[in-house]
Every structure is written in C-alpha cells, then in structure tokens.
Amino acid sequence: MTEPNSSSVQDCLFFTKQPILDTNRSIWGYELLGGEVRQGITQIFSQRASVASLSSSTYVGLQEAMERGKKIMVGFDDASILSGVPHALPSTGGVVRVMPSDMRSPGLDAALQELRAEGYQTVIEYLPAKSLESNIWNETDILAFDLNAGVPDLVSLGLGNNGQAVLLARGVKTLEQFHAAKDMGFALFQGSFFKEPECVPDRQLGSNEVVRLNLLRLMETEDPDVKALAAAIRSDVSISFRLLSYLNSAWFGLRHNIQSIDQAIMLLGWMKLKTWLRAVLIVDMAGKDEVPQELAALSLQRGKFFELLATAYDYWGFNPSTLFLMGLFSLMDGILGMPMDNVVELLPLDAKFKAALRHDANNEYRPLFDLLECLEDGDWPTLEALTQKLFMDLDQVKMAFAQARDWAGGFFAGCG
C-alpha cells in the first residue's frame, strides 16, 4: 500500500502520546513519552526544539490538540528545567512533570514556581519509598500516583477530596480501576483503560453503524460488485463527503480535485480506494465523542504500524494488507461500545483473524499486539526484551511506530 506525502525516516521522531482523561472520561490532555527510562524532553525533541517545532507538520496532532484546549505533559529532569527547556512548550498548554528525587536540586523549586507564574502547570510524582513532605501539594498543581506501585491511602497522606493539588492516577489499566480511583478522589486518569469498551447491556447498533458495517462486509467479499458499492457510497452523503475531502486534501497530494466516487475509482483503482474507504468508515463510526475519536486515530496508527512491520520483516509471511486491516479493526469494541466477541461476528473475517482480535491465547499474531501495547503504554524495558525475542531491531520498530503515528495524524486531519 503506497502512502501519499510520506515523511522521510529522518523527519520521523519517536515518541508515544498517551491521553489523560478526567472524571467524565473526556480528554484533558496528553503525555509525551520518549522511549527512555528518564523522560527529559531532550529524549523526545532535539536541543534545537522550539515552539515552532511543535507547530510543524511533524507534530500536527499536538498543535491541533493544544488549539482545542488540551494540555501537553512532558517529564523533565532537573537539568532541563534549570536550563529553561520547558519553554519549548507554550505556557497556555504546557505541563511540566518532575520526579520528587529531583526536587532536592538547588534552585529547582524556584524554577518551578517561576514556570507556574508564567502559566505552566507542574506535576510532581509521588514515590512510596520517599517521604511525602507535608507541603508538597501546595507547591504543585498536580500530584501523580502510579497505581502499579500500589493504591495509596490518600486520607493518611492528608489528601483525598480536600487536597490542594489535583490528583492524577497513572497506570490505570481497567475501567474498574478507573471507577475505584475516581471514588478515592482522583480527578485525572492515565493508562490503557481508555481502550477498554464501556459496554452498554443489550446495546443495539444505530442505523448509521449498520450501514457502515454492511459496506465493510460488501467490500471484503471475494468478488465485490464495484458498481454497486460505488452506488452505495454515493448514496451516503457523510461517507462521500469524508472520502472526497480526504482524497482532495493536501496530504494526499493529487494534482486535480476528484469530483466523484466514480472518478476516484478510475484514478486510483478499486483496491487502493478500498484501503482509504475502510479507514474513513472507521473514523465515521467513531462519531463526535472524544474517546471514540481517539480510538479511531489509534486504530489507523495500529494498522499502519502492523503494515510497516509486515513489510520490513517479510520472512514472517504475513500479508501487509491483512495486518493493516487487523490493526484497523483492533479497537472496534471501544469505538462501538460492545464486547469484541460480539464485534467480530459483525465483521467479514476468518476464524484466525477473529481469534487475534479477541486476543485469544496462542494466536500467531499475539506477539505483534504485545509489541504494540508496549509502545502505546510506554513499557520500554519489556519493549526492548520483546524485540530481542522476536529478532527485531529496536530502532526500526520505533521508526515504524513514529511513521505510523505521523501517517495516521495526517490521514485523520485530511478526512476529519
């Protein structure tokens, strides 16, 4: 599958972007993680990075998020803070995270207070092994707790619902953990739980979703009726508009505007158009809610990442187009708010493919999902061990992830 206006390898920069949600499961902001144990911003951006860098096409997703009022949180070490590197982020949306061990550095507290005075927010990480100074929550906007290190007793720490700082729960893996942390007094939540479907009992698909799933079924048949499919697409104003807007966007880079679905098929061919149409259908089914939209963007990123890996490691024998489709469908349970067991029965997939989406044990695609989850969750030690186990090059995996992230960001902007 060729990609329009693909950025060069040199232009891609590795980082993962994790959403941070509030108590209503709306997106408050994102944290950027750069793939190192110590998360200074210089591990993500070069020393020459500036606000202009964040506004460039490479960081289109970040710029768009800040324009929507979302926060961008980055961990800085003491040296970076003292040298003023946090100013690479705009004060209106920048959030500076620091570890408690760095708080002992001379001048750091004063530097943090200066940043707060300029409009930045600060986050201090609580470590159970360290004593929590009684006034620490008066010196920061947000106090973060990693739930992987144990559930804190907020009352004994003098926090709870009456604390001065906003409480951030990191490492939230399930909806059950989210609700428990919410009841404890946490206001912000970060972790893989947002990918878990919030299932409604006896959930019925809406007419919009049924139409789009039927289109997917027709597209994936062995010998599709292209004329009938083109007619079905033309009759759906929303899908036609999204698809033509995307194909005519600067990101796709065609010389002349495409005026109709028939013209798109003639210029691009059905097989290529089918790839873009699949993605547009996923984006459209996500609707307008923030979390499903985030999942749709992540689905595109997953599909492209799997495709790039299958191409780079062709000796596995995986079909790149098949892996693209698998990544694209991998978060449909969260997008539709249904268990994946139910979702796979709505999709035209073979048994092996369905088993992969259900995360069945011993499925041949399981290692790829494990790899992907390490990247998305920022589990760098496990990522390194897994790439070695799979005889993969870590830098190549990171580059594929960065290229997939940028590709998905451009696609989402083009057809949004």
Residue 202 placed within a domain: no
Q: Tell me: do 147 and 226 sit in the same domain.
A: no
Q: Count, in order, helices (H) and strands (E) of the chain.
A: 18, 8
For residue 187, pLDDT over 70 is answered with: yes
Q: Tell me: do 74 and 222 sit in the same domain.
A: no
Residues in a beta bridge with 32:
17, 74
Report which of residues 264 and 222 the model is more confident about: 264
pLDDT of residue 142: 93
For residue 8, pLDDT over 50 is answered with: no
pLDDT of residue 149: 76
Q: Tell me: do 223 and 155 sit in the same domain.
A: no
Residue 58 placed within a domain: yes
Q: What integer is the mean pLDDT of 141-158?
A: 75
Please spell the DSSP secondary structure of 93-145, one letter per residue.
TEEEEE-GGGGGSTTHHHHHHHHHHHT-EEEEEE-TTS---TTGGGS-SEEEE
Going by pLDDT thresholds of 50, 70 and 90, the confidence category of residue 54 is very low
Residue 350 placed within a domain: yes
Residue 98 placed within a domain: yes
Q: What integer is the mean pLDDT of 391-415?
A: 85
* Residues above pLDDT 90, as percent of the chain: 34
Q: What are phi and psi of 29, to 5 degrees?
A: 180, -165
Q: Tell me: do 252 and 304 sit in the same domain.
A: yes
Domain that holds residue 74: 9-194
pTM assigned to the model: 0.85
pLDDT of residue 88: 80
pLDDT of residue 274: 80
Rounded distance between C-alpha atoms, residue 158 and residue 233, angstroms: 59
Residue 3 placed within a domain: no
Q: Tell me: do 356 and 279 sit in the same domain.
A: yes
Report which of residues 289 and 42 the model is more confident about: 289
For residue 155, pLDDT over 60 is answered with: no
Report which of residues 248 and 383 the model is more confident about: 383
Q: What integer is the mean pLDDT of 130-158?
A: 69
Q: Tell me: do 211 and 330 sit in the same domain.
A: yes
Q: What integer is the mean pLDDT of 374-389?
A: 92
Q: Tell me: do 119 and 185 sit in the same domain.
A: yes
* Tally of CB atoms within 10 A around 319: 13
Tokens 């033509």 -> residue: 244
pLDDT of residue 126: 78
Q: Please identify, among 194, 228, 254, the residue that sits at the C-terminal boundary of a domain.
A: 194
Residue 395 placed within a domain: yes
DSSP code at position 84: T
Q: What is the pLDDT of residues 309-358, one digit of tens each?
A: 999 998 888 888 889 989 999 999 999 888 999 888 888 788 888 999 99
For residue 164, pLDDT over 80 is answered with: no
Q: Tell me: do 174 and 281 sit in the same domain.
A: no
Going by pLDDT thresholds of 50, 70 and 90, the confidence category of residue 389 is very high
Torsion angle of the four alpha carbons 96, 35, 195, 237, in this order, in degrees rounded to the nearest 10: 90
pLDDT of residue 303: 94
Q: Tell me: do 58 and 179 sit in the same domain.
A: yes
Residue 51 placed within a domain: yes
Rounded distance between C-alpha atoms, residue 63 and residue 32, angstroms: 13
Count of the separate structural domains present in the chain: 2
pLDDT of residue 224: 74
Q: What integer is the mean pLDDT of 111-123?
A: 94
Minimum mean pLDDT among 6-20, 141-155, 387-401: which range? 6-20
For residue 108, the domain's CATH number is: 3.20.20.450
Report which of residues 105 and 42 the model is more confident about: 105
For residue 269, pLDDT over 50 is answered with: yes
Report which of residues 224 and 8 the model is more confident about: 224
Q: Please identify, among 194, 223, 249, the residue that sits at the C-terminal boundary of a domain.
A: 194
Report which of residues 159 and 185 the model is more confident about: 185
Q: Using CB atoms within 10 A of its CB, is residue 383 exposed (0-12), middle (13-18) or buried (19+)?
A: buried
For residue 400, the domain's CATH number is: 1.10.3210.10
Q: Tell me: do 229 and 184 sit in the same domain.
A: no
pLDDT of residue 254: 74
Q: Tell me: do 177 and 63 sit in the same domain.
A: yes
For residue 25, pLDDT over 90 is answered with: yes
Q: What is the pLDDT of residues 56-88, one digit of tens each?
A: 444 556 777 888 889 999 888 888 888 888 888
Going by pLDDT thresholds of 50, 70 and 90, the confidence category of residue 160 is low
Q: Please identify, among 132, 167, 194, the residue that sits at the C-terminal boundary of a domain.
A: 194
For residue 41, pLDDT over 60 is answered with: no
Mean pLDDT of the chain: 81
Q: What is the pLDDT of residues 201-260, one digit of tens each?
A: 777 788 778 888 888 887 877 777 778 888 888 888 878 887 788 778 776 777 778 888
For residue 42, pLDDT over 60 is answered with: no
Q: Tell me: do 249 and 161 sit in the same domain.
A: no
Residue 201 placed within a domain: no
Going by pLDDT thresholds of 50, 70 and 90, the confidence category of residue 116 is very high
Going by pLDDT thresholds of 50, 70 and 90, the confidence category of residue 278 is confident
